[in-house]
C-alpha cells in the first residue's frame, strides 16, 4: 500500500473504465482523483476507449503506466517465463479498485467470475479484503431488468452478505454497510440515448467522495 494510504490521505487507485457512454467523464474523474492527491492508473476495456481520448490522458505514444489496455496484457510477442503478468501487477500496485462507469456487460461478468479482458482479470484476482468502489451506468430498462438485481445480489454474496435482498436498492444498501465495498447508485436524468430515467452514472464528485470515505476508514 502507498504510504499516504496508511494515513488515510491518499492511495494508489486503479480506475477501471468500461463501455458505457458515461466513460466520456473519464478525464474528469481521473483529474479529480489526482487533485485529491491520489496516484491513479486506468485499466480500460476495448469498448470504453470509444468514449474517451486515451491519448489526451496517456500521451502519444501511450504510456501504459497511465492507461492500461488489453494489448498490454496480451501483446503480440509470445509470453516468456518470468514476464510480468499485467493484471497481477495492477492488483499488487493498487490500494483500491474503482470501476466507473460499470456497464451492464461488465457487471454480469463480475457477478459470474468471467475474466476475458484485463479489467475483469484484475477483478477475479482482487483480494476481497481490499477496497472496491463500483459506479454502475446503463440504460433505464437495463438497470431495471431482473438480471441486474441478480447480478448485484451475486456481488453481495461475494462480499460475504448472506441471503441478500431481491431489490436492487436494498442490495446496494446492504453492500454499502460492508467494510470494504461500496456501490455508488446511478441517478435519474436524461440519458445519452434520449430516455429519461434511472441509469446515469453518479456525479464525479459523488464518486470521488465515496472513494475518499472508503480510503479513510
Mean pLDDT over 120-149 rounds to 97
Exposure string for 81-100, b = 16+ CB within 10 A, e = fewer = eeeeebbeebbeebbbbbbb
Specify whether the backbone of 137 is left (phi greater than 0), alpha (psi in -120 to 50) or beta.
beta
Instruction: Determine which of 1-5, 131-135, 156-160, 169-173 has the lowest per-residue pLDDT on average.
Output: 1-5
Cis peptide before 101 (omega within 30 of 0): yes
Q: Which residues are catalytic?
A: 193
Tell me the C-alpha distance between 216 and 2, whole Å: 13
How does residue 4 score in pLDDT terms, banded at 50, 70 and 90? very low
Instruction: Calculate mean pLDDT across residues 32-45.
Output: 97
The answer to whether the bond into 87 is cis (omega within 30° of 0) is no
* Cα–Cα distance measured from residue 127 to residue 107, given in angstroms and rounded to the nearest whole number: 18
Whether residue 138 is predicted with pLDDT greater than 60 in this model: the reply is yes
In the structure grid, which three cell numbers stand for residue 91, read together? 492488483
Per-residue pLDDT reduced to its tens digit, 186-217: 999 999 999 999 999 999 999 999 999 999 87
The values of phi and psi at residue 17, to 5°, are -125, 125
Q: Return the pLDDT at 9.
A: 60
Terminal Cα distance for the chain, rounded: 14
pLDDT of 169 reads 95
Residues 162, 96 contacting (CB under 8 angstroms): no
Count up the domains in the chain and report the number.
1
pLDDT of residue 76: 78
Report the pLDDT value the prediction gives residue 3, as an integer from 0 to 100. Answer: 43
Query: Once rounded to an integer, what is the mean pLDDT over residues 56-82?
Result: 93
pLDDT for 6 equals 44
Mean pLDDT for all residues in the chain: 94
Q: What is the CATH number of the domain that holds 94?
A: 3.40.50.1950
pLDDT of residue 154: 96
Quick check: 7 pLDDT over 80? Answer: no
H helical segments located in the chain: 3-6, 26-35, 54-58, 70-73, 86-93, 104-112, 118-125, 140-144, 146-158, 168-176, 204-215
- Kind and range of the H or E run holding 196: strand 196-200
Q: Identify the domain containing residue 145 by its residue range.
A: 3-215
Amino acid at each position: 500500500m502507498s504510504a499516504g494510504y496508511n494515513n488515510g490521505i491518499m492511495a494508489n487507485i486503479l480506475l477501471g473504465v468500461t463501455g458505457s457512454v458515461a466513460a466520456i467523464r473519464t478525464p474528469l474523474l481521473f483529474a479529480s482523483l489526482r487533485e485529491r492527491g491520489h496516484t491513479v492508473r486506468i485499466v480500460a476495456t476495448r469498448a470504453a476507449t470509444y468514449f474517451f481520448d486515451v491519448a489526451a490522458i496517456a500521451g502519444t505514444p501511450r504510456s501504459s503506466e497511465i492507461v492500461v489496455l488489453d494489448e498490454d496484457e496480451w501483446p503480440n510477442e509470445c509470453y516468456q517465463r518470468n514476464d510480468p503478468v499485467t493484471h497481477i501487477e495492477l492488483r499488487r500496485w493498487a490500494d483500491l479498485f474503482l470501476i466507473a462507469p460499470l456497464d451492464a456487460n461488465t457487471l454480469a461478468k463480475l457477478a459470474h467470475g468471467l475474466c476475458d479482458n484485463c479489467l475483469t482479470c484484475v477483478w477475479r484476482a482482487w483480494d476481497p479484503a481490499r477496497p472496491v468502489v463500483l459506479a454502475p451506468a446503463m440504460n433505464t430498462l437495463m438497470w431495471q431488468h431482473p438480471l441486474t438485481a441478480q447480478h448485484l445480489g451475486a456481488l453481495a454474496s461475494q462480499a460475504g452478505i448472506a441471503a441478500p435482498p431481491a431489490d436492487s436498492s436494498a442490495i446496494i444498501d446492504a453492500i454499502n454497510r460492508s467494510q470494504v465495498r461500496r456501490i455508488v447508485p446511478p441517478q435519474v436524468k436524461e440519458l445519452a440515448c434520449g430516455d429519461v430515467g434511472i441509469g446515469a452514472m453518479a456525479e464525479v464528485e459523488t464518486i470521488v467522495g465515496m472513494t475518499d470515505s472508503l480510503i479513510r476508514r
